[in-house]
Each structure stands twice: as structure tokens, then as C-alpha cells.
């Protein structure tokens, strides 16, 4: 299995949950402690783009809320419908590089403040660019190892599994 924190290049072919896709946008961030985070926009001909973030060796899918979604904020909480999310941390992300079709607020600001909120339904992220009125909200879903792989790694894994199955068949297992 590939390392969970594989970093992809713009236009690289990848396989997301068994579906071939291409990296059509990429943003590189630097956190306040110097850690690097990458955000990818993946696209194929059949569906809506997928937005992923890789940081500290883990991938997370970012599911944007529709622009018309209504959020109530009070102190350190956000209420979406009947669900309440409480602030657990803030990331200050400096935009180092933008390439391709990078969607979202990052295309308009050199610095992003990213608030992380936890609730019973999971994790919510609110991003704001200092000095801008626009706020973007995402529901975060961590990915398991192997849900996103380079096309080359996916092919190698599939080939290895095929060879192992062939060997088991020859051995009568």
C-alpha cells in the first residue's frame, strides 16, 4: 500500500476510490510552524471536481457547502440547521504556490485563516481571507489509506494482487 501522504503534481493521473482522475488544480500552503499542506482539485469527464487536502501525511476530502447555505455563528460555535459545531483550532496558512484550476478562496488571497470546528456530525472548516468578506465552509471527511493513489501506484498494487492471486491458484490455496 502506498504511503498515505503521497504528494501529486499538476496534471498527474490519480485514482480516487477506484475512479481514474487527473489533478487539475494544486495549492501549496505553509502553516505557522513551517508545515506544508497541499490542496488538490481532481477532475474527470463524468462528475463534479473533488477537493482533497494533504497535510501531515493524511488526506481529507473537503465537501463545500452550497453558497446559499445558512450558518448561524455565536462566540466559538457555528450552527448548521440543528447541528452545533465548536471551534477547536485555527490554522494560519500562507499560500506558497497556486497552479492549474485551484478553486475557492485561495485564488484571491496570499493568507488564509482556517477555523476547525467539531460537532456530533463530524468536522467543519471555515476559511476566511483577512480583509475579505467571503467565507467558505467545508465538511471534512478523512480518507483511509489507499483511497487516493497515483495511477502508477494503483497499477502496481493491482498487478501485485493479480500475481498473488495467480500464485494462490497454482498452489491450490
Query: Tens of pLDDT along 49-88?
Result: 999 999 888 999 999 987 778 889 888 999 988 899 999 9
Residue 2 lies in a domain: no
Contact 38, 7 (CB under 8 A): yes
pLDDT band at 1 (very low <50, low <70, confident <90, very high): very low
> 55 lies in a domain?
yes
Work out the percent of the chain whose per-residue pLDDT is above 90: 55
- Sign of the C-alpha dihedral computed for residues 24, 150, 91 and 63 taken in this order: positive
pLDDT at 104: 66
Q: Which residues of 71-98 are buried (b: 16+ CB within 10 A; e: fewer)?
A: eeeeeeebebeeebbebeeebebebeee
Residue 4 placed within a domain: no
Q: Give the sign of the dihedral formed by CA 8, CA 50, CA 39, CA 106.
A: positive
Q: What is the mean pLDDT of the chain?
A: 87
Residue 122: the pLDDT is 94
Helices (H), the chain: 151-171
51, part of any domain: yes
Note the pLDDT of residue 105.
Answer: 61
In a domain, 117, yes or no: yes
- Categorize the per-residue pLDDT at 3 as very low, low, confident or very high, splitting at 50, 70 and 90: very low
Q: Domain tally for the chain? A: 1
User: Structure pTM?
Assistant: 0.84
Quick check: is 46 in a domain? yes
Rounded to an integer, the average pLDDT of 150-169 is 78
Query: CB under 8 Å to 111, separation ≥6 — which residues?
Result: 92, 93, 94, 95, 129, 130
What is d(CA 28, CA 15) in angstroms, rounded to the nearest whole number?
21
What per-residue confidence (pLDDT) applies to 103? 67
User: Which pLDDT does position 66 carry in this prediction?
Assistant: 79
By residue range, what is the domain housing residue 109? 13-171
Per-residue confidence (pLDDT) for residue 106, from 0 to 100: 66
**pLDDT exceeds cutoff 50 at 14:** yes
89 occurs within a structural domain: yes
| Nearest CA among 76, 104, 95, 79 for reference residue 30 | 95
Q: How confident is the model at residue 107 (pLDDT cuts 50, 70, 90)?
A: low
Quick check: is 5 in a domain? no
Work out the average pLDDT over 118-133.
90
Indicate if the pLDDT at residue 114 is higher than 70: yes
Give the C-alpha separation, 139 to 64, whole Å. 6
Amino acid at each position: 500500500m502506498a504511503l498515505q501522504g503521497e504528494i501529486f503534481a499538476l496534471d498527474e493521473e490519480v485514482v480516487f476510490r477506484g475512479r481514474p482522475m487527473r489533478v487539475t488544480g494544486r495549492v501549496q500552503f505553509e502553516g505557522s510552524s513551517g508545515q506544508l499542506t497541499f490542496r488538490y482539485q481532481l477532475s474527470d469527464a463524468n462528475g463534479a471536481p473533488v477537493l482533497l487536502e494533504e497535510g501531515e501525511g493524511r488526506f481529507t476530502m473537503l465537501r463545500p457547502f452550497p453558497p446559499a447555505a445558512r450558518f448561524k455563528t455565536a462566540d466559538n460555535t457555528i450552527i448548521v440547521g440543528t447541528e452545533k459545531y465548536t471551534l477547536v483550532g485555527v490554522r494560519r496558512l500562507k499560500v506558497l504556490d497556486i497552479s492549474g484550476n485551484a478553486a475557492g478562496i485561495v485564488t484571491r488571497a496570499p493568507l488564509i485563516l482556517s477555523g476547525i470546528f467539531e460537532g456530533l456530525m463530524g468536522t467543519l472548516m471555515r476559511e476566511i481571507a483577512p480583509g475579505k468578506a467571503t467565507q467558505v465552509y467545508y465538511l471534512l471527511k478523512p480518507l483511509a489509506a489507499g483511497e487516493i493513489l497515483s495511477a502508477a501506484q494503483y497499477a502496481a498494487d493491482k498487478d501485485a494482487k493479480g500475481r498473488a492471486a495467480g500464485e494462490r491458484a497454482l498452489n491450490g490455496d
